[in-house]
Amino acid sequence: MRFDKYNEFNTKFSFSDIKGIGYEEGVTRRDPSSIIKIEGVYYVWYTRPPSNVPVVGPKAANDSLRAFHWDMASIYYATSKDGYNWKEQGVAVDRGPKGSFDARSVFTPDILVANNKYYLFYQAAGSLKEARWNGGKFDGGDFNKNKIGMSWSDSPTGPWHRWEKPILEVGPEDSWDGEVVHDPTLVVREGKYWLYYKSAGRVPWKPNISDGVFTKEYADMPNAVIGVAIADKPEGPYKKSVYNPVLIGGHECIVWPYRKGVCAFLSEGPEANSIQYAEDGINFYPVKHGLEKPEAGGTYRVGNFVDTDSQPGQGITWGLSHVLGKWNYLRRFDCDLSIQKGDSINREYEKVLEYKMEKD
């Protein structure tokens, strides 16, 4: 067992305000994507509903009042030269046409760079009929059953071309992901595209969440059970892993490539505030506990999604997360989970082991 001094995953998250997409009265910005850098410019995408439209809950919501903070939203984007001063550029992906799977809201995006193209993955809701709540505060509900959509572009600035069919849908009513599919995050490894996503555990004692068939098999799983779906191409089809769910807990889970494997930051459940690691992308185990969480963080992806078979995952050093409140807003977080730091720590640890062997 290593002391923290020799744990390459030991870090502290610090937080700072940003300009341009920080706090703004009457405006909600939340759920930032991974951040990429193209020709010296950083790009981020995020959820933004119309300004000055209050959240009233699903019972009172209509075409001009929001059920949730992420209701009636579009995907906006912003750019920056330094990661602190941002300029909002406008809508990247808007809601779909009336009657479509994404007509009510598109939100919680993530970006993928592949084959000289850009792909935005995001949650989508078709109508208010999908809006459900947990019987408590109205901001604790969600769109059940939702879908994950995708749009692609030849440039990070657009125009974006909407994929007419969902990329991922919920499973059968009694499955672990029978309620929702949330928080798409992409990792490229083994020549394939790994889409990590969150779902909600089955909760048969709260029939107001879903009026379908219930199962006790997944009833003890907290909200935010993480699975993965894998495709040969960015456009899919994405096949859900037979090993799902691969992580228990982790509402708004943050996922990134590291070395040949995958890291995940979990914020809820039995491994709350921990970093998990899986060499194979499936069998995760804890490597660091007790960290302050970036809320719904999106990390700067060094290498812009190069396959980890070609270049080991470089880790993360900063990103953006959101702050909850009447008007959600974005802020920056910094840490040191880079491969360079990890290599340095591991070299020091090897010296310690060599010294102990000499003493023995």
Full pLDDT tens readout for the chain, 360 residues: 577 889 999 999 999 999 999 999 999 999 999 999 999 999 999 999 999 998 888 888 999 999 999 999 999 999 999 999 999 999 999 999 999 999 999 999 999 999 999 999 999 999 998 887 655 555 567 888 899 999 999 999 999 999 999 999 999 877 888 888 999 999 999 999 999 999 876 555 444 444 555 566 655 565 578 999 999 999 999 999 999 999 987 777 899 999 999 999 988 877 888 999 999 999 999 999 999 889 999 999 998 899 899 999 999 999 999 999 989 999 999 999 999 999 999 999 888 887 777 766
Q: What is the pLDDT at residue 223?
A: 59
Supply the pLDDT for residue 272. 85
Helix (H), strand (E) at residue 358 = helix 339-359
Tell me which residue of 201, 213, 287 sits closest to 244, measured CA to CA. Answer: 201
Alpha-carbon Rg for the chain in angstroms: 20
CA dist 300 and 83 (Å) reads: 9
Q: Model pTM?
A: 0.93
On the 0-12 / 13-18 / 19+ scale of CB atoms within 10 A, 164 is exposed
* Residue 1 CB neighbours (<10 A): 3
Helix (H) or strand (E) holding 29: none
